[in-house]
């Protein structure tokens, strides 16, 4: 069982930046493709970004592409989400997720592909 703990959420003004971290334990982190999702009140969970086991392949949701960057440090068992040029519509609870991947370069974009989820961290962007 993988435990995922997010940190780094908070409040920021539009145009600002935040960096989320997700620390993993309980399983070989390097075996997992990792992803970030978010959910705003009254809305469905939305894909934000994913990164392959190797860290070489990333993919972003349309609403964040060019503003957010996902990265990972396998030595620290941590995945990051650097958020820049933030907008009020980025306000949501952000979730870290990990899914087993047999292929180093595979990315996972669908929630059902992930077996492990963090508890979420709130991000609020004010205008």
Question: For a pLDDT cut of 70, what percent of the chain falls above it?
Answer: 100
Listed in order, strand segments (DSSP E) in 40-109 are 46-51, 58-60, 68-73, 78-83, 92-100
Q: pLDDT tens digits for 55-99? A: 999 999 999 999 999 999 999 999 999 999 999 999 999 999 999
> Between 102 and 115, whose confidence is greater?
115
pLDDT of residue 101: 86
Alpha-carbon gap, residue 81 to 22, rounded angstroms:
9
pLDDT of residue 87: 98
Q: Which helix (H) or strand (E) holds 21?
A: strand 18-25
What the block records as the tokens of 90 is: 């980025």
pLDDT band, residue 11 (cuts 50/70/90): very high
């Amino acid at each position: 069982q993988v435990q995922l703990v997010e940190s780094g959420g908070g409040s920021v003004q539009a145009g600002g930046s935040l960096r989320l971290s997700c620390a993993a334990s309980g399983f070989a982190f390097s075996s997992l493709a990792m992803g970030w999702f978010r959910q705003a009140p009254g809305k469905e969970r939305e894909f934000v970004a994913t990164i392959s086991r190797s860290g070489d392949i990333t993919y972003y949701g349309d609403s964040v592409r060019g503003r957010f960057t996902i990265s990972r440090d396998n030595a620290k068992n941590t995945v990051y989400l650097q958020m820049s040029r933030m907008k009020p519509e980025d306000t949501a609870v952000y979730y870290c997720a990990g899914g087993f991947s047999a292929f180093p370069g595979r990315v996972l974009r669908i929630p059902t592909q992930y077996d492990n989820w963090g508890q979420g961290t709130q991000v609020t962007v004010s205008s």
